[in-house]
Amino acid sequence: MNVPKVHLKNSTLLKTPLWVSIATLLGLVVLSFPLIMILNQYHEDIVRQNFIEQESRVLNEQIKQKIDIGDSIAIAYAQNTVIRNALLFEERAPIISELQLINREYAQKTRFKNIQAHIITADGRSLVKTFELDSYNQDLTEHDLVKRAVETGQAISGINIGGAASHFRVINIQPIYSLDDESEVIGFVAISQGLRSVVESFHAHQVDYALFSSKSNQIDSDGREFTIGKAHYFDASPMAGFVFIQKQIRTDNLYFLNDRLVYTQPILDYGNHILAVHAVSIPLDVYYARVWQRNVDAIYILGAILLSTLSVSGLLLMVMKRSVIRPLAVFEKTIKKVNSSKEYSTSVKINSDDEIGRLSEQFNILLRQTEDLIHSLQYQQQAIDSSLIVSKTDLYGKIVYVNQPFERISGYSSKELIGKSHNLVRHPDMSPELFKDMWMTIESKRPWKGQIKNRAKDGSAYFVTVNILPIANLNGEVTDYLSIQEDITQLIELKESLQTAKEVAEKANQAKSQFLSSMSHELRTPLNSIIGFAQLLEFSNLSEKQKSQLQNITKSGRHLLLLINDILELAKIESGNLDMSLEPVNLKELIVDALHMVEALAKQKQIKLHCTNGDNLDHFINADYTRIKQVLLNFLSNGIKYNKDQGEIYVYVETFDKDGAGWIRIHVKDTGLGIPRKELKRLFEPFNRLGHENSNIEGSGIGLSIAKDLVERQGGEIGVESEQGIGSDFWFAFPLIDREQAVNRELSNTILNEFSHDATSTPFVEKVDYKKVLYIEDNPSNIGLMEDIVETLNGVSLTVANTAELGLEEAKKIVPDIMFIDINLPGMNGDELLPLLKQLPELRENGTVFYALTANAMIEDVDRGLEIGFDRYLTKPINVAEVIALLSQE
Ligand code: ADP
């Protein structure tokens, strides 16, 4: 991508620093005037201060230097033996010649040509004065310094009036000691120096120096005037006409006097009186030149700072332009391009290591992610469009978007749909209530889901499941509604056809059940007669051969009956007509109940029944009591049937863990024939008797397959372990349920004796007590059989009624001891009749017993019969021996 041109004036980011720079510059220019004034004032102060410091230092150094020189010269004189000798006797001549000698030597060897010296006596008189050799005995006792030297006998120096010249000079006084006694002061030597060298040294740096003294002796007067010293080297001084007043010069001072800057320093005597005053000065133009020089220097520095600030900010602007503004412009251009073209594959090309470089990298990643997102969204859109019907409406239900599947299924083009109300495709069959609910839901920003019948352009109906989602913007305001629909027309049609098929099947099934039930009844009735009369025949005088033939008839009849029962049961299960209601079943109750029921059969075959863990049986499972008992009975009766003589059966339970839940397994273990390993797989297949088809053991081979079906339908498991010749262990297992959940069922004390009829086969009873028997039965053959049975008994009178209603009448009339009641009767059936009979007080008083005698031989029929109050439930065909036994009971 080309780097876009960036103009400073167009760059918002640069504008601010640019304006700040310009404003700073202008501010600095405006401020520079007062700044220079302040600077000037400051520099004047500095120059004056410097002037004071520098010139006072120079002055002090010069004076000190002079005093040091004076001291060394005076010491040289004071140690001269000639002088010391001569002074003792105040002999002037040797001193004079010695002084001349020394002066000459000084003149030759130093720059001091004329050293002025006084040789002074110990009491302060000048014995000799150089160059005025004739002067002697000059009284110096009043001279300030001499007086002090005489009084102290010590060396002393300072600026003071130089002898007779009355000029102020630098004076050094040294004591002269006696040659004999080094501690005895015999006089003094006093050296005085003029101030010319001081003047010259100041001149050397363009400063004028002069000493001002006063003619007045009024040393304490403030008005005492000081004028320039008389020494000739002050003659040319520009300060010649200056007059200082004592009041002004008590301390160091600075003045602007006659175009000069003047600094004064007082010279004090030992009494702190002003003796004279040093004055140094420079012309004002020199002073201002110095100030100005400093100003110029400062302006240069300021200018330099300004310039460097300007160039630094200029440089910074350039750097910013290069490294920030230009990359940002690239950024802006790329983003604009992406925004207008929607091409997210573009990327920002900024190759730098700085923050913007890193920002661009992150931005490019963002672009990639956006591209991926858009790609996947497009993909999803395609996926949705290829399978789902999508439309979008505004807040008023006007279509704003439809996808192709919508156009396809509705038969309208998007042009025809957009802008129209979504009602366009609504089928008139749809209830307005549904749409009211839909609008209420989506208007409250909640999604709505439902099934709708729509109408296509050609008038045909189509069905859709609809998901309507309110689409909200970032502020949470719903802007439109998105409807995602799925075509379920085929499904609905299929459902409808399935429903029809189901109804047909149900009808067929009902017909089948009806057929089976009536067949059961129809088959049992003649069988009842066959077996019944065969049994009766057994009581007549027959040859052994006839007896065995008759037993064959009875046995085959029973086998046929068993087969019919099992086939009916299987048919019932397969047709799904088996009603099962799962409830908590107490295992103890179940096992005790079932054991009672097979007790007689077991006794007959001399098989011992054991319940090994009787105490641990108090568990509950969720099952249909009757059906699970049926399974247990099947296990038990098989255990008895397929056992050895005097064999054993063990019923036991064991709990175990399965997928974290507690289960219980109920075992029926026998010591019987066992099952060959290879047969185990086929054990639960219907009609498989595993070789027992031709044996004496009665059976149909259906029981176990029914058991398996029943257990699995109730959510349990079934299985077997068996070893041929040793025995089999059949079990079923169910999840355990909590004791609390279980509703305690009353332990049933009824004993179903389906399998024990043989056990009850009582020996033929010749004599029976007189008993009134009422038999309510509509089938003549059954009536005939009953009549034949009764005929064989003494003391039994039989009354027959063909309907329940007639039976009720008869019962009231004869008050029977025993009533046999068929269940399937024309009009009122046996079940309905029983409570009416039981209400009859005469029957209650008499203790009439009620036996159901019916072809409804299914186990649930038996259970139900006992539950409603029959004392015994006898199934057809009539077991003659059993009926005789009942009729013979006391
Ligand atoms: P049925 O007993 O009426 O024949 P089942 O379905 O109850 O039918 O049993 C199927 C077959 O399984 C039986 O014929 C028998 O061969 C075998 N069987 C069932 N229980 C046992 C058992 N306890 N010991 C040995 N074989 C058994």
CB 11: neighbour CB atoms within 10 A?
Answer: 20
**φ, ψ of residue 171 in degrees (nearest 5):** -120, 135
Compute the distance from residue 479 Cα to the ligand 1 centre, in Å: 74
77-132: per-residue pLDDT in tens? Answer: 999 999 999 998 888 889 988 888 888 888 888 887 778 889 999 999 888 888 66
Which atom of ligand 1 is least distant from the CA of 702? Answer: 6
Which atom of ligand 1 is least distant from the CA of 700? Answer: 3
Rounded Cα distance between 61 and 55, Å, is 10
**140 burial type by CB count under 10 A (0-12 exposed, 13-18 middle, 19+ buried):** buried
Residue range 671-692: mean pLDDT, rounded:
87
Which atom of ligand 1 is least distant from the CA of 698? Answer: 3
The secondary structure element, H or E, covering residue 529 is: helix 489-538
What is the residue with the minimal CA distance to atom 15 of ligand 1? 689
Q: pTM (2 decimals)?
A: 0.41
What is the residue with the minimal CA distance to atom 20 of ligand 1? 638
**What's the confidence (pLDDT) of residue 513?**
66
Rounded Cα distance between 331 and 314, Å, is 24
**380-391 burial, b for 16+ CB within 10 Å, e for fewer?**
eeeeeeeebbbb
The secondary structure element, H or E, covering residue 218 is: none
Compute the distance from residue 753 Cα to the ligand 1 centre, in Å: 20
3-class secondary structure per residue, 781-835: HHHHHHHHHHHCCCCEEEEEECCHHHHHHHHHHHCCCEEEECCCCCCCCHHHHHH
Rounded Cα distance between 802 and 874, Å, is 18
CB 618: neighbour CB atoms within 10 A?
Answer: 12
Give 431's Cβ-side CA count (13 Å radius): 5
CB 353: neighbour CB atoms within 10 A?
Answer: 7
pLDDT band at 21 (very low <50, low <70, confident <90, very high): confident
Rounded Cα distance between 258 and 520, Å, is 160
Q: Which of 638, 706, 726 most suits a substitution to test ligand 1, by most atoms within 8 Å of the C-beta?
A: 638
Rounded Cα distance between 700 and 685, Å, is 12
Residue 764 has pLDDT above 50, yes or no: no
Query: Which residue type, as a one-letter code, is found at position 142?
Result: E
Residue 762 has pLDDT above 80, yes or no: no
Compute the distance from residue 851 Cα to the ligand 1 centre, in Å: 32
Compute the distance from residue 644 Cα to the ligand 1 centre, in Å: 14
What is the residue with the minimal CA distance to atom 10 of ligand 1? 701
Q: And the tokens for 199?
A: 């003047």
Q: And the tokens for 352?
A: 């730098």
Compute the distance from residue 590 Cα to the ligand 1 centre, in Å: 22
% of the chain with per-residue pLDDT over 90: 42
The secondary structure element, H or E, covering residue 862 is: helix 859-868
Which atom of ligand 1 is least distant from the CA of 668? Answer: 23
Rounded Cα distance between 394 and 106, Å, is 126
Q: And the tokens for 752?
A: 């179903």
Compute the distance from residue 701 Cα to the ligand 1 centre, in Å: 7
Quickly tell me which residue has 């002079």 as its tokens.
Answer: 66
593-608: per-residue pLDDT in tens? Answer: 888 888 878 888 899 9
Asked whether 138 and 129 are in contact (CB, 8 A), the reply is yes
- Distance (Å) of CA 468 to CA 397, 400, 445, 451: 11, 14, 10, 11
Compute the distance from residue 569 Cα to the ligand 1 centre, in Å: 17
Compute the distance from residue 509 Cα to the ligand 1 centre, in Å: 30
Nearest to 652 by CA among 744, 731, 553, 580: 731
Residue range 246-266: mean pLDDT, rounded:
92
**What's the confidence (pLDDT) of residue 746?**
36
Q: Of how many residues is the chain composed?
A: 890
Q: What angle do CA 318, 320, 326 make, to 5 degrees?
A: 95
Nearest to 77 by CA among 172, 216, 205: 172
30-84: per-residue pLDDT in tens? Answer: 888 888 899 899 999 999 999 999 999 999 999 999 999 999 999 999 999 999 9
Residue range 339-351: mean pLDDT, rounded:
84
The DSSP symbol for 607 reads P
**What's the confidence (pLDDT) of residue 763?**
28
Q: Which of 558, 564, 642 most suits a substitution to test ligand 1, by most atoms within 8 Å of the C-beta?
A: 642
Which atom of ligand 1 is least distant from the CA of 691? Answer: 16
Q: And the tokens for 121?
A: 């006596």
Compute the distance from residue 690 Cα to the ligand 1 centre, in Å: 7
For residue 788, how far is the Cα from the chain centroid?
A: 91
Compute the distance from residue 632 Cα to the ligand 1 centre, in Å: 13
Asked whether 671 and 648 are in contact (CB, 8 A), the reply is yes
Residue range 568-573: mean pLDDT, rounded:
74
What is the residue with the minimal CA distance to atom 13 of ligand 1? 689
Quickly tell me which residue has 């002796």 as its tokens.
Answer: 217
% of the chain with per-residue pLDDT over 70: 92
Q: Which of 704, 723, 730, 754 most suits a substitution to test ligand 1, by most atoms within 8 Å of the C-beta?
A: 704
Which atom of ligand 1 is least distant from the CA of 566? Answer: 3
What is the residue with the minimal CA distance to atom 14 of ligand 1? 689
Nearest to 323 by CA among 353, 347, 343, 291: 353
pLDDT band at 711 (very low <50, low <70, confident <90, very high): very high
Compute the distance from residue 396 Cα to the ligand 1 centre, in Å: 74
What is the residue with the minimal CA distance to atom 18 of ligand 1? 638
CB 400: neighbour CB atoms within 10 A?
Answer: 13
Asked whether 578 and 572 are in contact (CB, 8 A), the reply is yes
Ligand 1 binding residues, C-beta < 6 A = 634, 638-639, 642, 670, 672-673, 675, 683, 688-690, 692, 699-704, 728
CB 184: neighbour CB atoms within 10 A?
Answer: 14
pLDDT band at 311 (very low <50, low <70, confident <90, very high): confident
Which atom of ligand 1 is least distant from the CA of 634? Answer: 7
Beta strand 771-776 with 818-821 is: parallel
What is the residue with the minimal CA distance to atom 8 of ligand 1? 701
The secondary structure element, H or E, covering residue 120 is: strand 116-121
Q: What angle do CA 590, 593, 597 make, to 5 degrees?
A: 135
Q: Where are the beta strands (DSSP E) in 355-506?
A: 389-393, 399-402, 448-455, 461-472, 478-487
Q: And the tokens for 480?
A: 């439109």
**What's the confidence (pLDDT) of residue 765?**
29
**What's the confidence (pLDDT) of residue 719?**
95
382-410: per-residue pLDDT in tens? Answer: 888 888 899 999 999 999 999 999 999 99
Quickly tell me which residue has 């439309």 as its tokens.
Answer: 391
Q: What's the chain's average pLDDT?
A: 86
Compute the distance from residue 658 Cα to the ligand 1 centre, in Å: 28
Asked whether 628 and 580 are in contact (CB, 8 A), the reply is no
Compute the distance from residue 884 Cα to the ligand 1 centre, in Å: 32
Nearest to 51 by CA among 199, 192, 262: 262
Rounded Cα distance between 517 and 214, Å, is 167
Looking at the chain, the number of H-run helices and the number of E-run strands are: 22, 29
